[in-house]
Each structure stands twice: as C-alpha cells, then as structure tokens.
A and B are shown apart, each in its own frame.
Chain A
Amino acid sequence: MAILITPDTKIMIQGITGEFGARHTKLSLDYGTKVVAGVTPGKGGQFFEHAGHKVPIFNSVADAAKATGATVSAIFVPPPFAGDAILECVDAGLDLAVAITEGIPVKDMVRVKRAMQGAKTRLVGPNCPGLVTPGTGEGSKGGCRIGIAPGYIHKRGHVGVVSRSGTLTYEAVFQLTSKNIGQTTCVGIGGDPVNGTSHLDVIKMFNADPETHGIIMIGEIGGNAEVEAARWVKAHCTKPVAGFIAGATAPAGRRMGHAGAIVGGAEDTAAAKIAVFKECGIEVAVTPSDMADALLRAAKAKGVTLS
C-alpha cells in the first residue's frame, strides 16, 4: 500500500513556472508521476508542456483541485510566500501539502502550524526533499515522486525510510537498492525546527502499513523528535528499525546547514540521541555507509525478510 502517496495519487505543483519548480516537474513527469495541475497566480489558463505532457495551470490551489481532482500539492514557492502557499492548500482541503522551499522564516511556520491545528491537510516539510513511492518500471518509474529526490535510485519494495536530510535519504535508499532491497515510501520531513510531520508521525504510518517490513530512521542534532519517535518504537513498533544520527562532531551552538541542526543542550546531541536509540532497541548505523546493513541486522534479529 505504501504510505501517504501511491502511484495513482494526483498531484499539483505550486510554483510550476519557476525555474526550480519547472525542472522538478519535468523529472516527476518523466518518472511517471501523475502531475495533473500547476498553480501560478496570474498564469491561469496557460499550460506547462513537457515531452508530450500538457499540464494545465491555474490561478489558485482551489481551482486546480476542483478542476483536476488533485489531492496533494508540492510547494516550490519562494520563502517569503511559502507559508501562504501552505495555508492555501489547507483552505482547499487537500490531503497533503509538501513544502520543498528552504528558508521560510520560523515565525511564519509557527503561525502556519497553529492555523493548521485540526485541519484535514497534512504538511510534510518545509525544507525537505519530498516523498517517493517507487513504481515497478525500469529505474522504479511509474511511481509517485513529489519533490526533488532522484527517482532512479529507488526500487519498489518493503522498507520505509524517514529522514530530516535529503542527501542522507538518498544515501540510505541507494544502499538499499544496491542490495536489491526495495522501498515502500521514502519521506523527507525536512531540516527546519518547525515542521509539519515528525519522525514519529511517519513511523506510526509505516508500522500500520502491511507492505512495510522494516524502517530506517535518519535524524540529526537539535530538537527531540528522534527521541520521541524512539520511545514510541520501543513501546509499540513491531517492525525492525535501524537509525542513524548525523552531527556527532558538530560544535554546540552552531547551525550545521539545516536551520534545525543545532545543539541547544545536553539532550539534543548526537550522542544523547544514539544512546536513546540503543536503549529503545533501534539498531544504530555506526557510519552513514552502514545504514542498509544496520537494517539487515535488525531484520535478522527479528526474523523478518526485507525483500
């Protein structure tokens, strides 16, 4: 079943005519993803054309959803306008908004998150690579690719991946696929301190998804989201889980690229999080090269087959 998105999910792109949005819309179309609409205020009525695809552009998310039945939006809108773009998805009653945009002011996200309380729409991101549910074609084509991840490194299968970092997600997926282990869905939740979907939210979904047999959770310094997820894994998760935490060598008080990757106290260091992972029965990858192997070890210990 995969989680959040399937190859049949219809998506729209907010910011489809911008350089960044256009480039990744083309890659998603090539991947076989059902990109059915674009949104650029003022360009409603025009079309986004690529390799035989003709994607209609609308002035608003509500118009796009109504005309095409799209239930998910990928947001490529520049930071000053991205908070507003997320709220537009909520207002249109979409199932899922995926905010790729990096650099949204924290205050905007604090307000957006408050405004989303109780709303039907789920937010993934911001500052994230998006999601991929691989397809069954060559290079996993025919899947649903929302965002900026490279589609071809994936393979349809039974491992769920959740991560705050883009490139580390690709690293994990690449290791899995190289070992002929496929994925159900790979979810980049983003590197910002205020985000829509947490590690825990995604792990609960993976745990409930019968198609997912094992989980890789990738975290980093800053905040306590990984710790919260690990405690839940210990108490409720029936599936093998491997984990990795980046930033063991990061100096305290410095932001390591991601706005949220900053050590604030003794609790949010890599060492503290790794200790909690171990305590909660999560198999820790000793280096980033060890992520797939760590999951294999965890699966073997539980007698679970991943492929």
Chain B
Amino acid sequence: MNIHEYQAKALFEKYGVPVPKGAAATTPEEFTTALSQLPDGPTMVKSQIHAGGRGKGTFTDGFKGGVKFCPTKHDAKEIAGKMLGNTLVTIQTGPAGRKVQTIYFTAASDIKKEYYLAILLDRATSRPVIVASTEGGVEIEKVAHDTPEKIHKVFVDPAYGLADFQVRDLIFKLGFGPAEAKNAGKLIRNLYSMFWDTDAAMVEVNPLITTPTGEVLALDGKVSFDDNALFRHPEITALRDLNEEDPKEIEASKHSLSYIALDGNIACLVNGAGLAMSTMDIIKHFGGSPANFLDVGGGASKEQVVAAFKIILGDANVKGIFVNIFGGIMDCNVIAQGIVEAVKEVGLKLPLVVRLEGNNVAAGKATLNQSGLKLVSGDTMADAAQKIVKLVA
C-alpha cells in the first residue's frame, strides 16, 4: 500500500525524522488555513498523487510542473488553485494522469547539498538494506548505472537491529561535515525505526538535504507498506486513498480477486498467479495484447467467477475473453457451471475462449458444450491463446 508525501512526512515527524514545516489542503478554502501555519517567505506547492516525476509532470490543461517553488505565500495560493482538481501526467502515471485532490504546502528550504536515502528489503540476503548516495535529487537507477561506486549499502541484521558502527560508517562515506553528522545519524536511526515498526516495504527520501546551518531534513518522502502486515497497523490502513486506485482493482479486492488493469484488449480470467502471468505472456507471444492480470485464486466460487466477469467487462477496451483454468483440486465441472451462469448473468456478447484442464474435466467440457453458449474450447494453453488472438484480430 502506498501513501502520499504529506502522510509520509507526518509519520517521519512522529518518528523524529526532521522535515520542512508543511500543511496539506484539499479545498481552496483550506489553502489559507494551511498557509497560515507556515512561516512567511518562499513556499513549495506540491501536488499529492501516488506517482513519481511530479516536478517534471504536465497537467492536462497545459500547466507545467506538479511541484512549484513560489517566492511568497500569496503566489503559492494562486499556484495551488491551478493544481487542485487538475489532472497531472508524469512518467509514472501513464497518459491518463492522476487527478490532484490534495495540495501540500511546505516552507522552502535553503539547500547546501542533496543526498539519497532509502530503506527496503534486500531479497538476496533476506535482510533490510539501507541504500544511500551523495547523488541526491536525481534518479537513483541512473546513479546505480553510471556511478555504482557512489551507492552505499548497509545490510541490517534483524536479530540485532541497526548497529551504531554501521550508521557511523555510512555517515563517513557520505562525507557529512561535523555539524551535520550528529543530525544525520539521528535521522538515519529514526528512519530505520519507522521502517521496522510500521512494516514498511520501502521508505525513500530523495532528496535528503543539508542546510547551511547544519540541519539535515527529509525534503521528500515516499513510503509503501507490506500489504500482508496491514492487519496489525490500523492507523496505517486508515491512510489508504482509494482515489489513487483503479476502481476495478478496488472492486476485485472486495471479492478476493487479484486484478491488475493493463492496456490490451484480451481479458484474462485465470486461477493461480503464475498461470495468470503466463496467460498474459502467451497472448502476447501469439500477437495479441492482454487487457488485465486476473487471478481468481485456488478455490474460485461461482460468485467470484461472476464478479470477475463483471470486472473485466467493465473495461471498455476488452474485445474478447480468455478463461484459462487448471483445476487441480477444484472440480472443473463446478467451474464450468460458474462460467455458464456468469456468462448468462452478464449477457456476454464478446468472443470467449475457454481452456479447462484438470479434475473432472470431461464433465466440465460437457457442461460448457451443452450450455448453448457461443464459446470456443481450447485444448492446450497455446491452442486457446491462438484462438482468442484470432477472434479479436
């Protein structure tokens, strides 16, 4: 689960990670109240969406920049008015962009130097890793590619936690001056505590900055959480912003379906994550384009299959449907009955190819054949994929 920058900054403050003074607003009326909490002078206006590249983004009405520096609070209020309710397109949003529903104002900081700091899981060692660099404010992937020697990593032993010597070592490597070192050390330790306590999946501060007076501040904040651990963090679950999620994905999660919208025209309905991924792949392999990832899980019920059909048909781009089920334990006939009822209930008019294999498959195929529905059977995944690609071409 992702959260907004202003929410991340509130968490930072709670854990003792210094951030510039800031306040959020969701209506033009709130702009004044929010700005009154900030000192007079230069102010940053930041669009709150769950996507990177905001500063270089463009709004659909042509206004440029989702993050703006304003010399005065008066200017900030005017710029915020142009952003709020407007749709911001960045390299990460896709062409549709995201509607800005919250504005975050912060006091502009005097920057001496920018750094990069992140904490995430290192899969190879199964340990948390702190990634830091002297090259802040730019894309870390680019730094890793061009100048890997400027990336420093600290692997944390989960049995002991982050050790003081590791923090000292990192501070020396990043070259913090004496005035900054103590503040930087405290910030790194506190950020790690937050990462660990909240079951965060990733915490990224880019840039982390030093100021001429020796302060160390998190100028930006990007935080995501492990969905599996949300059950023990109700206060974090409450930060979820449904406006940032695809309505079809929200609907799917209500039915315990795993759905991700893509931009193709062949909808997929599959059991199992691996099979669902490779169903998309095989469509592509035979020249088609998948409209979604959809895993109905190991024990798909009739109700789930109906819900799944409704969700995939809610995508206007869909021109055909590929149902690919390997019923290992599940009775294929039960699934077949679910498909027949679902198709009747939603009144399907698009081409449908069904590949059914596994437990009691003969009865399942008979149910499909006797249903009177216009559907095409596929023998193998490859056969079925070729058939649906041909039908929508």
Contacts and interface: CB of A to CB of B under 8 A. Distances in A.
Interface in B134-156: 141
Q: Which of A79, A165, A218 has the most CB of B within 10 A?
A: A165
Interface residues of A, number: 63
B126 to A, nearest CB: 5
Contacts of B231: 79-80
Interface in B283-315: 283-285, 290, 293, 295, 298
A259 interface: yes
Given A148-B298, A244-B278, A114 B159 contact: yes
B236 interface: no
B275 A167 contact: yes
Determine the interface band of chain B, counting residues with CB < 8 A from chain A: 35 or more
Contact of B274 (A114, A152, A220, A259): A220
B381 A287 contact: yes
A250 B293 contact: yes
B380 interface: yes
Contacts of A194: 121, 123, 126
B326 interface: yes
A164 interface: yes
Contacts of B285: 286-287
A95 to B, nearest CB: 21
B126 A109 contact: yes
B1 to A, nearest CB: 11
A265 B142 CA distance: 11
A111 B123 CA distance: 13
Interface in A218-272: 218, 220-225, 228, 244, 246-251, 253-254, 256-261, 265, 270
A265 B328 CA distance: 34
Given A107-B226, A170-B326, A247 B158 contact: no
A224 B122 CA distance: 11
Contact of B358 (A148, A150, A166, A254): A150
B277 A256 contact: yes
Interface stretch (A67-75, A98-106, A206-214): A98-106
Contacts of B121: 106, 110, 193-194
Contacts of A256: 260, 273, 276-277, 293
Contacts of B22: none
Contacts of A27: 329
Contacts of A259: 227-228
Contacts of A248: 281, 284
Contacts of B363: none
Given A191-B273, A220-B274, A247-B277, A170 B358 contact: yes
Contacts of B282: 287-289
Given A148-B329, A150-B359, A288-B282, A106 B199 contact: yes
B275 A250 contact: no
B232 interface: yes
Given A110-B128, A165-B277, A246-B281, 10 more contacts: A107-B229, A148-B298, A148-B328, A167-B275, A170-B326, A223-B123, A224-B123, A247-B277, A251-B262, A257-B273
Interface of B: 92, 121, 123-124, 126-128, 141, 157-159, 196, 199, 201, 226-229, 231-232, 258, 260, 262, 270-278, 280-285, 290, 293, 295, 298, 326, 328-329, 357-359, 380-383, 385
Interface of A: 27, 79-80, 103-111, 113-115, 148-150, 152-153, 163-171, 174, 191, 193-194, 218, 220-225, 228, 244, 246-251, 253-254, 256-261, 265, 270, 286-290
Task: List the 9 closest pairs (A to B, CB-CB), nearest first.
Answer: A165-B274, A257-B273, A167-B272, A150-B328, A105-B229, A167-B275, A289-B382, A168-B274, A246-B277
